Amino acid sequence: EAQVTQNPRYLITVTGKKLTVTCSQNMNHEYMSWYRQDPGLGLRQIYYSMNVEVTDKGDVPEGYKVSRKEKRNFPLILESPSPNQTSLYFCASSLNPYNEQFFGPGTRLTVL
Amino acid sequence: KNEVEQSPQNLTAQEGEFITINCSYSVGISALHWLQQHPGGGIVSLFMLSSGKKKHGRLIATINIQEKHSSLHITASHPRDSAVYICAAPGAGSYQLTFGKGTKLSVIP
């Protein structure tokens, strides 16, 4: 089954404790992206990747890191999480930015 | 960066009504996405269009590149259409996506 998986689905952590949210797709897609969704602000792009080893900033990259060492995986790293990073995070993939995007189920992160 | 505006923010309709959701953007684009977010939170892609019109079942999406405007129509609306509908557009010469804030649709039986 074609899908985008994210782990964990829910995470409660404390300020400053490094964490990684994994994202994996099995559709051989070139383009992958991370978004955060906040009430009243909607979805905002954090980082995107056009291919292996090619990443670029979206609208709100501060406080986040990504890597794309393999085509299928695109982890999101919060090296020192802060409460303002409490949000709902989505990973997505597609053939390219102008094709249908496939979204993961979301990760609800709470930083205390 | 593209500025993307959606209207209305909230919409309540009676079952069977024809629904229109609008999306305007500031920068010329090559494609625009329409997404649906279910009450449970999952997001699915409805359409990606770069010109004209696309239809899928009771959903129709149109785009006018010159006017920088797109519409999503739902014919014969049904309570299961209740969701948040979101449009997204890339910037000119950019692969960065900018999203509208979404339209929350409630269809009442």
- pLDDT average, residue stretch B48-52: 90
Substitution target from B29, B99, B104 for chain A, most A beta carbons within 10 A:
B99
Convert the pLDDT of each residue in A13-28 to its tens digit: 999 999 999 999 999 9
Q: Is the CB of residue B46 less than 8 Å from the CB of residue B36? A: yes
Determine the distance in angstroms separating the CA of A29 from the nearest CA of chain B, rounded to an integer.
Answer: 15
State the pLDDT at residue A96: 86
State the pLDDT at residue B28: 74
| Residue A99: pLDDT over 80 | yes
Substitution target from B45, B54, B94 for chain A, most A beta carbons within 10 A:
B45
B56 pLDDT tier (thresholds 50, 70, 90): very high
Distance (Å, whole) CA B83 – CA B106: 7
- pLDDT average, residue stretch A48-61: 93
Q: β-strand A87-94 against A107-111: which pairing, if any? A: antiparallel
Which two three-digit tokens encode residue A89?
A: 């995070």
User: Is B50 near chain A, with CB under 8 Å?
Assistant: yes
A30 pLDDT tier (thresholds 50, 70, 90): very high
- pLDDT average, residue stretch B96-105: 93
Determine the distance in angstroms separating the CA of B86 from the nearest CA of chain A, rounded to an integer.
Answer: 9
- The percent of residues above 70 in pLDDT, for chain B, comes to 98
- Chain A residue numbers with beta carbons less than 8 Å from the beta carbon of B97 are 33, 45, 48, 58, 97
Helix or strand or coil: residue A84?
helix
Determine the distance in angstroms separating the CA of A48 from the nearest CA of chain B, rounded to an integer.
Answer: 7
Q: β-strand A42-51 against A102-103: which pairing, if any? A: unpaired
